[in-house]
Amino acid sequence: MNATLARGLAGGLLLLALWEAVVRLAQVPPWILPPPSGIVATTWSARGALLDAGAMTLFEATAGYAIGAALGLLLAMLLALTTPVRKLVLPMIVLINSVPVAAYAPLALLWFGTGALSKVVMVAFIVGFTVFLNALDGLLRVDPAAVSLFRSFGAGPLGLLWRLRLPSALPAILVGLRVSTVRSMIVAIVTEMLGSQKGLGWTIFEAVLQIDFLRVWAAILAASLISLSFFATVSAIERRLVFWR
């Protein structure tokens, strides 16, 4: 794991050096592609505003993430227990989930306003689906022989869910939670771009209007760093919880 990290870092640094060199040597105009050094400098000088915007976006993403993950997991457990209901509603859920996220965003803005709520709702919606589908798959994909063993010990549906299905599904659930980290940031930013007065998405949108491309890049850098830390945190939790994999 550490070797992978080191290789990734080395690769990233190499790429940045190449980027810097090409931009300088070919004298690429900054509105097309600024050099990394310029982006870092702008990020530093605009750090106050970026920090505020980043905190807003991170709040929307994590609040929506927590709500969506909890609801998705709960729904998956309920549907794992009730086979007839599951067969009825699952196709519908899959259908709703196959519509691209951004398509719902205007509706969220219309219903929940241009404040944080619409972003939280959108993120919760997407994360909820991701976690739900992963969790349900994991909950249902248990070894039938293990189910038999539990039943021979007298376990009922709830005992099975708690002692067999949930732990068996934990790896799948955590995969869902891990990919949801980045998705939650994307959705929060995209929804901000479509309507808001705060956040990194709004910062990017505003900077584009003002043709301030260095600030666009600075906001992108901030968003990437936040997203990466969120992802790394959940990955670390995943490695601790799913220790047997």
Partner 1 sequence: MLTVGAAAGPRAKLQLNGVSRHFGAVQALAKVDLGIAEGEFVTLIGPSGCGKSTLFNIVAGLLEADKGGEVLLDGAAASLLGKVAFMPQRDLLLPWRNVLDNAILAAEIEGQPKRAARETARSMAADFGLKGFEGHYPQQLSGGMRQRVALMRTFMFDRDVMLLDEPFGALDALTRAMMQRWLLDIWSRYRRTILFITHDIDEAIFLGDRVVVMSARPGSIKLERRIELPRPRDPALLTTPEFNAIKRELLDAVEEESLKTFAAGAV
Q: What is the DSSP string of 17-62?
A: HHHHHHHHHTT--TTT---HHHHHHHHHHTHHHHHHHHHHHHHHHH
Instruction: Give the shortest CB-149-to-partner 1 separation in angstroms.
Output: 5
First-last CA distance in the chain? 14
Tokens of residue 211, six digits: 């043709």
Provide the 10 A C-beta neighbour count for residue 53. 23
What's the closest the beta carbon of residue 125 comes to partner 1, in angstroms?
31
Q: What share of the chain is helix, strand, coil (3-state, %, to 5)?
A: 85, 0, 15
Q: How far is the CB of 176 from partner 1 (least distance, A)?
A: 18
Number of residues engaging partner 1 in binding (CB under 8 A)? 18
Site for partner 1 in 214-243 (CB under 8 A): 243
| Residue 244 in the binding site for partner 1 (CB under 8 A) | yes
Residue 141 or 151 having the CB closest to partner 1:
151
Q: Which is nearer to partner 1, 6 or 146 (CB)?
A: 146
Q: What is the CA radius of gyration of the chain?
A: 22
Closer residue to partner 1 (CB): 98 or 152: 152
Q: Assess contact for 59 and 184: CB atoms under 8 A.
A: no
Q: How far is the CB of 18 from partner 1 (least distance, A)?
A: 43
Judged by CB under 8 A, the chain residues 112 through 171 that form the site for partner 1 are: 143, 145-146, 148-155, 159, 163-164, 167, 170
Closest contact distance (angstroms) between CB of 243 and partner 1 is: 8
In the complex, least distance from residue 164 CB atom to partner 1, rounded to whole angstroms: 8
Residue 29 vs 144, nearer CB to partner 1: 144
Site for partner 1 in 27-86 (CB under 8 A): none
Question: Based on CB atoms, which residue is closest to partner 1, 170 or 220?
Answer: 170
**CA separation for the pair 9, 132 (Å, rounded):** 33
189: nearest Cα among 203, 210, 206, 208: 203
What is the Cα–Cα distance from 139 to 167, expressed in whole angstroms? 9
Residues at the interface with partner 1 (CB under 8 A)? 143, 145-146, 148-155, 159, 163-164, 167, 170, 243-244
